[in-house]
A and B are shown apart, each in its own frame.
Chain A
Amino acid sequence: MRRYSGWAATAVLLALLLIVPAWSQRYVLSLFTLAVITALLAVSVNTLAGEAGLVSMGHAGISASAAYAVAWAVRDQHGLATQLLLALLVTVAVSALYGITAMRTSGLVFLMITLALGVMVYGIALKWSKVTGGQSGLIGIRRPESLLDPWAFYYFCLAILAVTLVALWLFGRSPLGLSFRGIRDSESRMTSLGYATPAIKFAAMMLSGLVAGTAGVLAVWNSQFMSPSAAAFEVSAMAVIIIIIGGVGAPLGPIIGAGLVVGIEHWLSSYVERWPTLLGLLFIAVVILMPRGVAGVLWDRRDGPGSTLPATALLRRSGGVRPTPKPPADAVTPRDLTDVRGHHQKGS
């Protein structure tokens, strides 16, 4: 039965994403569009976290850089090809900077470095106003003619998301994709097997960066406006919480997580004034109460390709801590862990 539950869930989700917007009003469509684009950014973070075990808190820096590239190209009245080429170049350059800086670290240090990089991109966007328009941002960005219709744009974004997920799934079965997972499960084992782990992590960052850049391009086409807030720490942190909600490593997790977060934000922020406070409390509640995420609680608990990885299995080996075997996939909660307090510190 379980074998089919994943497929059934995929079918339901796909049907929902395909059918609902077609019949709904403009503002529901805009929510769906936002959720799909947000999901794509979360997919890029999920690729690094789920496949390579590296949690980035700075991916908004990459997506925003790509978005700025599109904004510059549009401002200078370049065509679609130039926009995309420039976005690609900037994405590759920024991802390479992220990769070079962070590839020799893992765990919490990786998280801190990517966070710092993301905040730096934000700071540069804010201060380098000659190029970025500073706080007031860049206006007058139009998406390509054929995507001007909001429904056409939504289905375009959905298609990009679907293609990305399939491509990443195929990639996950390639030798390089498998080596990502090898790093996630035990970096020291990979090193002793003769793999150049920094190079593999660099490749993982580049792959994930490309997805983030794509999300950035779609985001700026969607908002048709670019400001530093696209690179804000909140955006990066949101992507991480989305993959926690969706279940780290679950291929469809980012869609579920993004849908929930965008939906809740829309629903609550019309009633409550202090939305960021509620968002923060929501973060804390999710992390403490359901660290395996909604997807992890609902479905698939098998180990192996495509299964959700409990967030409790991530980030256990930073700071010279010896890698621990992945805990059994069922019912690992932080409360269980308090009973074996400190066991992962052994040998540090």
Chain B
Amino acid sequence: MSLGYLSTQVLNGLSFGALLFLLASGFTLVFGLMRVVNLAHGAFYLLGGNVAISVTAATGSYLAGLVTAVVVTALVGLVSERLLLRPVRNNELLEVLVTVGLAFVIADLCLWAFGGNPRSVPLPEFLTGSVSLGSVTFPKYRLVLVILAVAIAVGLKLIQSRTRIGTVVRAGVDDRETASSLGIDIERVFTLLFVFGAALAGLAGVAAAGILTMRPGADTEILLFALVVVIIGGLGSIEGAALGSVLIGLIDAFSRLWLPELSYFAVFAPMALILVLRPQGLLGKAV
């Protein structure tokens, strides 16, 4: 295997990992604070990707597609949290089931609105082409994805440790009751975070529409990867999501190459191993 081939595969893995991080970070943040396992996260991704494709096609502007997609998923997140999740707050099983119902509805409406054919978004000129590094050339878009994910990871970490809202969220994670008794409106923080997570999933959908296809079933498939990432990395941990994304992205890229038919098993094996040896995940706090 030549160096160029190997590094292309590594970049493929890292760029898929970047997508996974966009998804998994939102998922893990929402879980960390609200204890909500949002199984509609994959559906938000599918919705975001599809909206971006349609709006880009209609307006001819990729940027318009991107912004609309993020706004639409954020709004859907807002409505879902206020109308559907709030009535079952604090009951973990019921919260999960509400998100399952929501996932069914969104996925089916996507099928209705956007059809059943695989779709992807035409990338604008400044994102296409390739970059040469020495003897190796990389597709520019995949590099951009990696940079975007790193930027978001750093941004999230800074927000979490340096800003007031980050402090509020951390307080809520550590002790919800004390935080509310100190005058923090924890319900508003919940809504804000859920909307933020949905917007991140929508963004992930837009980003994915450039290298993958949006089609019925893509939501469950990507949800699986996001779940594996957060389980491996440790629930609620941004660093864990980052580590898990890189690992699963690379494992997926190479297993698609070497055992294309059993690539799911290649994702399962490390998850099972980590769960047996370290049930709380690589960077998770002991439960």
A residues adjacent to B (C-beta < 8 A)? 55, 57, 97, 100-102, 104-105, 107-109, 111-113, 115-117, 119-120, 122-124, 127-130, 232-234, 237, 240-241, 244, 274, 276-277, 279-284, 287-288, 291, 311-312, 314-316, 318-321, 334-335, 337-338, 341-346, 348
Residue B5 at the chain A interface, CB threshold 8 Å:
no
- Kindly list chain A residues whose C-beta atoms are within 8 Å of the C-beta of B104: 234, 237, 276-277, 279-280, 283
- Kindly list chain B residues whose C-beta atoms are within 8 Å of the C-beta of A281: 101, 105
Query: Chain B contact residues (Cβ within 8 angstroms of A): what range?
Result: 35 or more
Q: Is the CB of B177 within 8 A of A311?
A: no
- Kindly list chain A residues whose C-beta atoms are within 8 Å of the C-beta of B261: 127-130
Assuming the contacts A315-B92, A342-B180, asked whether A241 and B37 have C-beta atoms less than 8 A apart, the reply is no
Q: Is the CB of B267 within 8 A of A320?
A: no
Assuming the contacts A315-B92, A337-B91, A341-B89, asked whether A287 and B97 have C-beta atoms less than 8 A apart, the reply is yes
Q: Is the CB of A124 within 8 A of B88?
A: no
Residue B287 at the chain A interface, CB threshold 8 Å:
yes
Extra contacts, 10 of them, besides A97-B272, A124-B265 (Cβ < 8 A), are A57-B100, A115-B39, A116-B227, A116-B268, A119-B224, A233-B220, A277-B105, A311-B93, A335-B87, A342-B186
Q: Is the CB of B276 within 8 A of A282?
A: no
Residue B145 at the chain A interface, CB threshold 8 Å:
no
| B window 211-261: CB within 8 A of A | 220-221, 223-224, 227-228, 230-231, 235-236, 260-261
Residue B119 at the chain A interface, CB threshold 8 Å:
no
- Kindly list chain B residues whose C-beta atoms are within 8 Å of the C-beta of A116: 224, 227-228, 231, 268, 271
Q: How far is the CA of A283 from the CA of B105 in the complex (A)?
A: 10
Query: Can you list 11 A-B contacts with CB-CB less than 8 angstroms, sorted by A residue number?
Result: A101-B276, A105-B279, A127-B263, A274-B108, A282-B101, A287-B101, A311-B91, A314-B93, A319-B235, A334-B87, A335-B87
B93-131, CB under 8 A of A: which get 1 and which 0? 110111011111101110110000000000000000000
Which label, helix, strand, loop or mixed, suits the secondary structure of the A interface?
A: helix
- Kindly list chain A residues whose C-beta atoms are within 8 Å of the C-beta of B107: 276
Q: Is the CB of A127 within 8 A of B260?
A: yes
Q: How far is the CA of A338 from the CA of B177 in the complex (A)?
A: 13
**Distance in Å from the Cβ of B118 to the closest Cβ of chain A?**
14
**Distance in Å from the Cβ of B238 to the closest Cβ of chain A?**
16
- Kindly list chain B residues whose C-beta atoms are within 8 Å of the C-beta of A291: 88, 91, 94
Assuming the contacts A100-B272, A113-B275, A115-B39, asked whether A312 and B91 have C-beta atoms less than 8 A apart, the reply is yes
Q: How far is the CA of A334 from the CA of B268 in the complex (A)?
A: 35
Q: How far is the CA of A122 from the CA of B221 in the complex (A)?
A: 10
- Kindly list chain A residues whose C-beta atoms are within 8 Å of the C-beta of B90: 334, 337-338, 341-344
Residue B140 at the chain A interface, CB threshold 8 Å:
no
Name the contact of B175 in the complex, choosing from A241, A283, A312, A348 (C-beta under 8 A).
A348
Q: How far is the CA of A122 from the CA of B279 in the complex (A)?
A: 24
Q: How far is the CA of A25 from the CA of B111 in the complex (A)?
A: 35
- Per CB-CB distance, the 5 closest pairs between chain A and chain B, nearest first, are A283-B101, A280-B104, A280-B105, A276-B108, A123-B264
